[in-house]
A = this chain, B = another copy of it.
Amino acid sequence: MTSNQPQLWRRAVAELLGTCLLVAIVVGSGIAAQQLSPGDVGLQLLQNSTATVLGLTVLILMLGPVSGAHFNPVVSLTDWLLGRRSGTGLTLAELGIYVAAQTVGAASGSVVANAMFEVGTSVSTKERVTPGHLLAEVVATAGLILLIFALAATSRGVLAAPAVGAYIGAAYWFTSSTAFANPAVTVGRMFSDTFSGIAPGSVPGFVGAQLIGAAVGLGLLLLLFPYAARTADDVVLPHSSDAAGR
């Protein structure tokens, strides 16, 4: 918690704005894909995942110096957990504010996407829970947490923007669930009954699997990078303009 961090309200605005734009990218490109390539679902997913790789990378670059560009409650939660060991990281109060900002931002992202495409905002009817999809969310989230905090542990946070974008782009395809891997985004995607939507009934299962995945990822991190708890904070919290965050 260095003194030259941006004020907490600025960091909360950055988390809200970034998560809003992330969901707008996921949902908006999904609507475009569905409208423009109606004949091939795989081509739709390729358009959707390509837009997300590019957009997520840019959002992390852009807002990392303000808030660390978490945009994801399990990232903030892991940061808090790792920071407790070393006396750094997010405090519990900051964690609450981050998660709230991410969730509100995510829901508003669906509203923005729906408005741009003149699609009414309504709750998704797309049920997504299957055993395979839940396993996929565990795998996708474990990999994401391991990646982010492995880069932090090895002082390579500057690579996090393209690495996280690329990871999610691969995970759209190699997991059966298309890799939500983010509780706030999962909640936000309830509010668009389009390609990227998720029915409310599927949200608890997905979020539960993501929490399990985060725990698995944290376990792998401590196994492979035993020094991770000492070093994570150097990158996961923004503390200078060239620590571009994640």
Contact = CB atoms under 8 A, between A and B. Distances in A.
Interface of A: 6, 10, 13-14, 17, 21, 24-29, 31-33, 35-37, 39-55, 57-58, 61-63, 65-66, 112-113, 115-118, 130-133, 135-136, 139, 143, 146-147, 150-151, 153-156, 159, 163, 166-167, 169-177, 220, 223-225, 241-242, 244
Q: How many copies does the complex hold?
A: 4
Contacts of A55: 166-167, 170-171, 174
Contacts of A39: 40
A173 B50 contact: yes
A32 B224 contact: no
A42 B42 contact: no
A146 B49 CA distance: 23
A133 to B, nearest CB: 8
Given A224-B13, A224-B14, A174 B28 contact: yes
A166 B54 contact: yes
A238 B174 CA distance: 28
A223 B12 CA distance: 12
A177 B146 CA distance: 32
B174 A51 contact: yes
A147 B26 CA distance: 19
A167 B58 contact: yes
